[in-house]
A and B are shown apart, each in its own frame.
Chain A
Amino acid sequence: MAYAIEMLHITKDFPGIRANDDITLQVEENTVHALLGENGAGKSTLMSILFGLYQPTSGTIKVNGKEVKISDPNVANDLGIGMVHQHFKLIECFTVTENIILGKEPRTKLGTVDMKKAREKVVELSKRYGLQVDPDAKISNITVGMQQRVEILKMLYRDAKILIFDEPTAVLTPQEITELMQIMQNLVKEGKTILLITHKLKEIKAAAQKCTVLRKGRCIGTIDVKDTSEEKMAEMMVGRVVSFMVDRPEARPGDVYLDVDHLNVKGAKGTLAVKDFSLKIRAGEIVGLAGIDGNGQTELAFALTGMTKIESGTVKFMGEDVTHASIMSHYRHDMCHVPEDRHKHGLILDFTLKENYVVHSYMEEPFSKNGVIKMKAIDEYADRLSEEYDVRSGEGKDTITRSMSGGNQQKAIVAREFDRNSKIMIVVQPTRGLDVGAIELVRKKIVEQRDKGAAVLLISLELDEIMNLSDRIAVIHNGSLSGLVMNKDVTENEIGLMMSGGLSKFDEEAKI
């Protein structure tokens, strides 16, 4: 079997830190090869070296058996290496075709761009690899999944033989993930080689043949995926035995803390996104809200936290009506909120980590006194939070959060919100973008908060998470409650049906 890429004994030093330590990665032709590791394990550095963004301190790189020196990304492109970045690099107001051909436009005799030819080529490529996209749609009008396909087509248009996917599923819905897996298979069938960077074990199981595991800059080993269990891979990645199932003692629910009654909320389009929605959550229990993305979860979370106007119905926090109260007043009624969009809402990206830790509490002592910020108290608090929630960043608490990895950003938000020890917790997608170790930590903390007596509403697109953590499960479909069941009495299949509107089920026991 020939290797498409060989990175042999790669070591990369940065001032004060060795990011890659004698890593060897051999990728066979015509396979999907996964690169697995926690955030900060050295995956990005290794790929940056392969892509010519960094030069290795020592080690050699071979492409198709020939030793090469990749001095910059153009060299990588010429060698047929293409990268699908986690954050797409597309021009929003251009069409799909325009984005794909940008920088390598076919020309007419007059020297103008030959759009007809370009369009044909794009259509032909998308047919061959099973990547259905509308070549004339504007990027701003297509879904994230489609945008990713455009990124892939960009690589194919440039005749890339080796495609690197950097965390490709982080931004996708479950359906899109399934489709992406299929696309990868098609690509391999057509003679491409794929290097998949991820920390999601399920996807590796589904798509990859071989898997190289990195931990703390070292290569732990390369394994055959079909012979290795997820647990084993997780153990290799984290360095200890990881439990996916959080130990969750029986809930002992108390008074109703969160009372949502006949709620109607309008969405961005002006139509009702949440319809006649009622739900009660008691102290000391976790209610998971399952649903397919875009069925009103976002609007519901905004309505409960005061971030959007409620059309009709009421929301009560511990008996007090907060339906039309300000956001600040929601927090004062002892609520915390892990928001869905960590960049838009969760963080002030240009603030430092410590400044982000106090966005709700900067007005309170000890963080400020008489309107003056007490930086020392904030410093101490930040150190404690980062320690407790394992938030890692380059310059500690003074790191600008924009420069932190997605996983650590998410951990910082979770740390800030959970540390408030609120009575009412609105938690949306708390483990999105986190690696296995961090997921375990966050899930434990959620249960911990429950046991301290909090009423938790967990909104997640990942059914695993809902099934794993919830005491009761509510299902939302098309803005309405389509099911309310006890976790112990329901199967994954039934929930799936309720999510798609094929089943409506309300347990007597689950009603309160």
Chain B
Amino acid sequence: MKKFFKIALVAVLALSLVACSSSETPSTSGDPATTGDTASINIGFVTDTGGIDDKSFNQTSYEGIKRFASENGLVENENFSYLQSSGEEQYIPNLSSFAEEGVDLVAAAGFLFTDAITTVAAQYPDVNFLVIDVAGIEMDNVQTANFAVNEGSYLVGVVAGRKALETGTNHVGMVIGQESESMNGFWAGYQEGVWSVCPDCKISYDNSNSFGDTALGKTLAQKQFEAGASVIFACAGATGNGVIQEAAERRQNGEDVWVIGVDTDQYELGLYGDGTESVILTSMMKRVDTATYNACQQIKDGTFKGGNVDYTLADEGVGLPAENPNLTEEDLAAVAEAEEAIIGGSVTVSTVPQTSADNPLIIG
């Protein structure tokens, strides 16, 4: 192996010589770390396989960075930029490339980054990392941000339960993208929220096992709507888009069905017909942009610390969108009431969901 290494090194050196001779005029677009004011802050964001324009997690996280950048006069591709990962095996190369470029903060979103961040952070102790939705990393240079998704899901559960009572179906649904610890938070909060206003409500539940299968999402929505659900909480990335499509088609046929969006305000995604009405009843927002924004701010202030940061309802880390055209005053009042109860501590939302084995109201 040593010999191979030597040969490779010789080859590399030889190629580098060739490369040197042609490098008289370096390109102007430049690397983020070295061009511009050295005193300014440099931030890199690595997407998961969903890409930067996923209208969800990655996009929102990056928007937090952009907001910070515009307030501080940073320039995209000079002070901050993103790397898209075409496959999971690209996480480590992408993270370490940013680290090699010497950025001040490398951010990424999603629990799939757990091992990649751990590996790369150990390799680059001088670089700070922010990773969203990951628990259990204890390193000085890694900040993990977690959201009380159970609390946010409780609120949309309240909305869903009220809708089920209103339509008289007493039946709601949920589609998830993959079983995981964080998904359990969504599921547990949603259950409690629904049953807090409608104790007899049935909940249909399906795991699509994919965050990108729109067709499957449509099929599962069909199944749940046929079973009688009037609202589906779609927690499944692009698979959820299929749920939204199915609902839109049904609304156009006069059915009274709704979808609750996830992560971001998905109202726009749910527009149908002439584009004035949306199937999105409301959305369970996770303010990942707050997490990235805060981390950037901490870097600027020099207060960035490793360890876990929890974003709860009280911190406005989760919640409903500011505007909810499809909700009534009564709905909003009920949500506000539940919100107060959670913040005040009179209601504690579980993170462990009930399963269909111990609750006949859950239809698997």
Report if A and B touch in the complex (beta carbons < 8 A).
no
* B interface residues with partner A (beta carbon < 8 Å): none
